[in-house]
Amino acid sequence: MATQASKPADSTDLPDDNGHFGPYGGRFVAETLMGPLDELRTAYEKYIDDPDFLAELDEDLAHFVGRPSPLYHARGWSKKLGGAQIYLKREDLNHTGAHKVNNTVGQALLAKRMGKKRVIAETGAGQHGVATATVAARFGMECVVYMGAEDIRRQAINVYRMKLLGAEVVAVESGSKTLKDALNEAMRDWVTNIDSTFYIIGTVAGPHPYPVMVRDFQTIIGREARAQILDQAGRLPDGLIACVGGGSNAIGLFHPFLEDRDVAIYGVEGGGDGLGSGRHAAPLCAGQPGVLHGNRTYLMEDADGQIIETHSVSAGLDYPGVGPEHAWLKDTGRVQYTSATDEQALQSFHELTRLEGIMPALESSHALAYAKQLAPTMDKDRILIVNLSGRGDKDIHTVAGLEGIRV
Amino acid sequence: MSRITAQFESLRQRGRKALIPYITAGDPQPSVTVPLMHALVAAGADLLELGVPFSDPMADGPVIQAACERALKHRVSLHQVLGMVREFRRTDEHTPVVLMGYLNPVEVMGYETFARQAADAGVDGVLTVDLPPEEAHDLVAAMKAAGLDAIFLAAPTSSDERIRRMAASGGGFLYYVSFKGVTGANRLDVQSVADKLSQIRAATDLPVGVGFGIRDAESAASIARVADAVVVGSALVSRIAELADQPDSIPLQAPRLIAEMRAAMDAVNE
């Protein structure tokens, strides 16, 4: 295992210089990528403190993405649950319908500064692919999105959206033909086209500096939520809840609250058919540490170290790894990780839709499912913030299909 | 002196360049691997690179990805690969064997257990594709304690400082990746390889092997002019793939490519 970072547990200063969060993170890639990762890191560290860059980012977040996103007090649902007051951070109202665009805008601006004319991305459900194709269209960049052949079949509408936006969508036929294989293929493209290409990773995983860079672009969620709850309720929340696939919406909400020790933090993984069934996507709850996709983190793997296929009704959670900072926050105990099953998520999907008139993404429905369990155990003057990371329009076919309806 | 170092020394004295074929262990089925290793030596291989199959071979092109998938259909594990090396060693004490693979199967086994068992099985060196020197300290220490050479990849993008660092922690030889890309791509440019090799030689005394993109006798010969060793992977694995439905013929037919390369390389050095 890598040497322990010398910085204190759950410090917001992490990672260390080589991208380690305790024993997790780092850079586990073939040598050819080490130089380009150094170059990316240098550029990132330069621009993240550059007033012109930040002004351009803020401008785009305000007028292209539509930030700040509201913090909405779900009074009807809170009343039904009979406990804590639930506030929803409305990332579903962002342009393209999810939190993903916060990051793609940031990375595209960085790509532009680095003189890269071509961007590539991996995608599972297609949300990150759409968010990447969107910024590529806006900045006039060539865009190639890698997507598992199996996911292309399941997510035809997002595939067409990306094509409308001018992106080339490449079907990945290797391995399990899903998100992890798309990530492998995007890495292969990057190593082949390093000079011209910027790889926009969609989550807080991958080799350093991706986990910290994507986190920094997503912490706008938590910074806004913190100010909004202070404004609306006059105090910090008692708990935060977010779903965790790779973990970018979760870390975005959590990070600005890590040092608020009285705020309990919960990450909810895709429990699939239940952790006992083996058919799930919950590496933090039921996996073990290993190395995949450039970082050390918790993984779903077999006894020989081969990565195993995951299962979740939500394509955005269907990934065998998780961001290394989450692995660290699990080990330090600062964040509690749990899971919600497909069935629990679907129940919450319907409940929020009917009671609040908000149709959540199936990913976000996992966070809602945990709120549904937790809120009734708390007093009515307690506050929970749930990250509503995306809208559910993309999932209508899945939900209808499960109910035997063709739309 | 390690078996790898001794082999390079002996080759140098004979004025011969090393030919290193790569095969994925267990491809297309486990029973083929050991006979094929012997047949490759008979055809003129000086060292053998044995790939440990992995579910997510991020640095490999389609040919070696498919080889991993064929081997994993038989659930070939790192333990089994070590068993293959042990069996090979029963009748070949001489030819160095290098394992090439990804870190995760080694992580699961544990660094010290892996290093001890690999050395015990007769492995001489280990090349872990996704382990740059920055992250390699603990595994290299375990390997050195067990008498194994850690073999590092150098790339067109590697700085002098990085090459010195690899040379300091590594042993056996340095594996130079001839172009920016994945295994099996067709982008070999001998002149750019030659230029980078002179830069590498200024930074280390380790022998330098060149791999990626060497597909036939002609490209093997041209690389043999400038490098200490020629590594051939995808071109050989493609032949194995073509013969996958007649596995018994693989040890007879696939090594012909190695024999052709051997002849062309030796002609250069005469």
CA gap B112, B119 in Å, rounded: 11
User: Active site residue: A78, A89, A122, A339, which one?
Assistant: A122
C-beta atoms of B132 and A29 within 8 A: yes
- Nearest CA-CA partner of A363 in A331, A336, A386: A386
Q: What local confidence, expressed as pLDDT, does residue B270 receive?
A: 62
Contact A294, A206 (CB under 8 A): yes
Catalytic annotation on A389? yes
Contact A86, A78 (CB under 8 A): yes
- How deeply is B118 buried, as exposed, middle or buried, from its count of CB atoms within 10 A (0-12, 13-18, 19+)? buried
- Of the candidates B62, B69, B130, the beta carbon closest to that of A291 is on B130
The helix, strand and coil proportions of chain B, stated in percent and rounded to the nearest 5, come to 50, 15, 35
Q: Establish, for the pair of chains A and B, how many residue pairs have beta carbons separated by less than 8 Å.
A: 131
Within 13 Å and on the Cβ side, how many CA atoms surround B17? 26
- Residue A216 Cα, gap to closest chain B Cα (Å): 24
Residue B107 to residue A28, Cβ atoms within 8 A: no
Res. A260: pLDDT tops 70: yes
User: For the purposes of burial, counting CB atoms within 10 Å of the CB of A261, is it exposed (0-12), middle (13-18) or buried (19 or more)?
Assistant: exposed
Rounded percentage of chain A residues whose pLDDT exceeds 70: 97
Chain A nearest CA to B150, separation (Å): 14
Query: What is the mean predicted confidence (pLDDT) over A338-362?
Result: 98
State the average pLDDT over residues A46-67. Answer: 97
Point out the residue among A184, A192, A290 whose CB comes nearest to the CB of B185.
A192
| DSSP character at residue A32 | G
What is the pLDDT, as a whole number, of residue B131? 97
Cβ-defined contact of A307 to B135 (cutoff 8 Å):
no
Alpha carbons A309 and A287: distance in angstroms, whole number: 12
In the predicted structure, residue B189 carries a pLDDT above the cut 80: yes
The domain B3-268 having CATH identifier 1.10.287.110: the answer here is: no
User: pLDDT at position A150, please?
Assistant: 86
pLDDT value at residue A10: 43
Residue A28 near chain B (CB below 8 Å): yes
Among B104, B129, B159, select the one facing A290 at the smallest CB separation.
B104
Q: Which residues of B touch A191 (CB under 8 A)?
A: 59, 180-182
Mean pLDDT of A264-276: 97
Average pLDDT over residues A107-134: 96
C-alpha distance from residue B232 to each of A365, B50, B76, B125 (Å): 50, 12, 22, 17
In which band, very low, low, confident or very high, does the pLDDT at B7 lie, cut at 50, 70 and 90? very high
- Residue range A183-231, pLDDT digits in tens: 999 999 999 999 999 999 999 999 999 999 999 999 999 999 999 999 9
B250 contacts: CB under 8 Å, gap ≥ 6: B28, B32, B36, B240, B243
Residue with token string 């013929």 = B249
Q: What angle do CA A322, A328, A330 make, to 5 degrees?
A: 80
How far is the C-alpha of A108 from the C-alpha of A202, rounded, in Å?
A: 12
**Cβ separation A194–B77 shorter than 8 A:** no
Which stretches does DSSP call E strand in A65-153? 71-73, 85-90, 118-123, 142-148
Nearest residue to A304 (alpha-carbon basis) of B137, B88, B25, B170: B25
Phi/psi class of residue B209: alpha, beta or left (left: φ > 0; alpha: ψ in -120 to 50)? beta
- Distance from the Cα of B100 to chain A's closest Cα (Å) equals 12
Q: How far apart are the two ends of chain A, measured CA to CA in Å?
A: 50
What pLDDT band is residue A407 in, cutting at 50, 70 and 90? confident
Closest chain A residue to the Cα of B112, Cα to Cα = A1
Q: What is the pLDDT of residue B1?
A: 83
Which residues on chain A are in Cβ contact (under 8 Å) with B58?
29-30, 184, 187-188, 293
List pLDDT tens digits, range B117-138.
Answer: 999 999 999 999 999 999 999 9
Mutation target to probe the A interface, by most A beta carbons within 10 A, among B54, B55, B208 is B55
Q: Are strands B48-51 and A118-123 parallel, antiparallel or unpaired?
A: unpaired
pLDDT tier for residue B186 given thresholds of 50, 70 and 90? confident
Is it the case that residue A72 has pLDDT exceeding 90? yes
Asked whether the predicted pLDDT for residue A88 surpasses 80, the reply is yes
A5-29 confidence digits (pLDDT tens)? 333 344 467 899 999 999 999 999 9
Of A27, A191, A304, the CB nearest to B135: A27
Residues of A in contact with B77 (CB under 8 A): 304
Nearest CA in chain B to A32: B155
pLDDT at B67 over 50: yes
Which are the catalytic amino acids of B? 49, 60
Torsion angle defined by CA atoms of residues A279, A285, A287 and A289, in that order, rounded to the nearest 10 degrees: 160
Digit-coded pLDDT (tens) for B8-62: 999 999 999 999 999 999 999 999 999 999 999 999 999 999 999 999 999 999 9
Contact A154, A185 (CB under 8 A): no
Tell me the longest C-alpha to C-alpha distance in chain A.
Answer: 57
Domain ranges of chain B: 3-268
Nearest Cα to A198, choosing from A47, A355, A399, A396? A47
Question: What span, in angstroms and rounded, lies between the C-alpha atoms of A207 and A275?
Answer: 28
**pLDDT score for B158:** 94
Instruction: For residue A129, name the pLDDT band (cuts at 50, 70, 90).
Output: very high
Q: Are strands B208-211 and B48-51 parallel, antiparallel or unpaired?
A: unpaired
Partner-chain contact B58 A30, CB within 8 Å: yes
The predicted structure's pLDDT at residue A12? 60
**If you average pLDDT over every residue of chain A, what do you get?**
95
